[in-house]
Amino acid sequence: MGCRDRHFSFPIIGGSMSYTQKVLDELKARYPEQPEFIQAATEILGTIQPALDAHPEYEEAALLERLVEPERIVMFRVPWVDDQGKVQVNRGYRVEFNSAIGPYKGGLRFNPTVTLGMLKFLGLEQILKNSLTTLPMGGGKGGSDFDPKGKSNNEIMHFCQSFMTELYRHIGPNTDVPAGDLGVGGREVAYLFGQYKRLTNEWTGVLTGKGLSFGGSLARTEATGYGLVYFVDEYLKSRGESFEGKNVVVHGSGNVAIYAVQKVAQLGGKVLACSDTHGWVEDPDGIDYTVLEHVYNKKRSGHDKGVTLAMYVDEKPNAVWHEGDGRGVWQLPCDIALPCARENTLLLEDAQALVANGCKVVGEGANMPTTIEATTYFQENGVAFMPGKAANAGGVLVSGLEMSQNAEHLSWTFEEVDGKLEQLMRGMFHNVDDTAKEYGEEGNFVMGANIAGCSPRASAKSSLDIACDEAPSHSGREPFSMVERAVRPRLVHLKVLDK
């Protein structure tokens, strides 16, 4: 059997189609207009059949069918007034996907590409990502097709207030806790939180990624980038290596990329290049994260017209700006590649170029930036591939810690939060690594992450959903409460909330 079949296959069992293939075929027939969602489902379902083989009761309980269908989807119009006094209308969404182990948790994305299928893809990934953190968080995702680029602060505030005027009735600190994502940073979270507080007449930790002056957490801004590097570094350590002396390329120059660049430098590596939607910059002295911060802040200022990463060379004259597709970074020789932009930005031809130029490790800092074909190629050619549902979980992990701080009305120091982040991300690597080994697929971190992420959800849903749905008893079989106890969730038991 070839590696492509091994990593993303749907086996024939006893002459019949496997459970995972049946579920995927049903999804493809039901949602042909949602290719991103089908891509995510294919990546997940194509790797977890070995775990399902050990638990036939999951198929009897239709567990996968319940996992891949959101518990609730909210869709609504968002009318707002621009600076010219013209009424604009956008579409808003919240996909409340799974609350088996905690309140829905996941970001809001404001971008013209946002569709229901896109958010279902992100929400499905979020379920497993949140589970891997070992914190009690369900999975969800939301957003709008609103584009904050080129908008004034006043226009963005008007939009956020209108968006929250509908969303507020569907969220809460123990129901659904949104956060930021692409197009939603500290500015947008502040506008959203202010409107929520105005409408409900209460201060509560209903959003994460808040400003420090109104309940945010130190190290939240850095968390996703730092967490990515901690995860990759733990892999390197398990092989007797480190970032010291390694050449790294990064796709992206936003929040995740900035702090991944910083942490790589702190650990002794050098980032050779990074990118934005207008091109990419190459710096022989190593990318300076402080200059990236300057450019990023200008992009987020409300006066962002004409602001691009090309401005990097104004402060670093030795650097070279390459106009065009930012995917040009994948053509550079490197040891480690970190895609930190958005989905499907590392294609098969990029993977071929990276392998040809000596890349040995790929760590996803975004949500599924690597296509399935590229992922398979990396695995076939011995590249250690770290999927985003594990490697970029640092952001939601610290969001969970922000929820804990809000609930206790406490604020932890930067060192405390960063220490917990590092401990959990390094523990998460070993959880994923050990799971892959247990199922005879050492080094297959996609399979390890998917199975490890599904296990706690499967355990909880077998008990909660069947009980709530009042399913008939199944004579001759173990009751589901016993099944729940029999399933061993692959959690890293780290006591991280002690002050």
The sign of the dihedral angle between the CA atoms of 321, 323, 327, 328 is negative
CB 114 within 8 A of CB 145: yes
CA separation for the pair 132, 450 (Å, rounded): 9
Nearest residue to 173 (alpha-carbon basis) of 210, 145, 148: 210
Would residue 86 show up in a list of annotated catalytic residues for this protein?
A: no
Going by the DSSP 8-state scheme, the letter that residue 251 receives in this structure is: E
Nearest residue to 180 (alpha-carbon basis) of 300, 281, 19: 300
HSE-CB at 420 with a 13 A cutoff on CA atoms is 28
CA separation for the pair 73, 75 (Å, rounded): 7
CA separation for the pair 195, 164 (Å, rounded): 6
CA separation for the pair 485, 493 (Å, rounded): 17
CA separation for the pair 254, 15 (Å, rounded): 49
* Cα diameter, the chain: 75
CA separation for the pair 425, 496 (Å, rounded): 12
DSSP state string for 229-243: HHHHHHHHHHTT--S
- Measured between its terminal Cα atoms, the distance across the chain in Å is 51
CA separation for the pair 248, 242 (Å, rounded): 12
Say which of 120, 129, 141, 151 is annotated catalytic.
141
CB 337 within 8 A of CB 249: yes
Distances in Å between the Cα of 172 and the Cα atoms of 30, 177, 206, 219, 407 are: 31, 6, 5, 23, 12
CA separation for the pair 138, 136 (Å, rounded): 7
CA separation for the pair 184, 190 (Å, rounded): 10
HSE-CB at 66 with a 13 A cutoff on CA atoms is 21
Judging by beta carbons within 10 Å of its beta carbon (0-12, 13-18, 19+), is residue 244 exposed, middle or buried? exposed
Residues known to be catalytic: 141
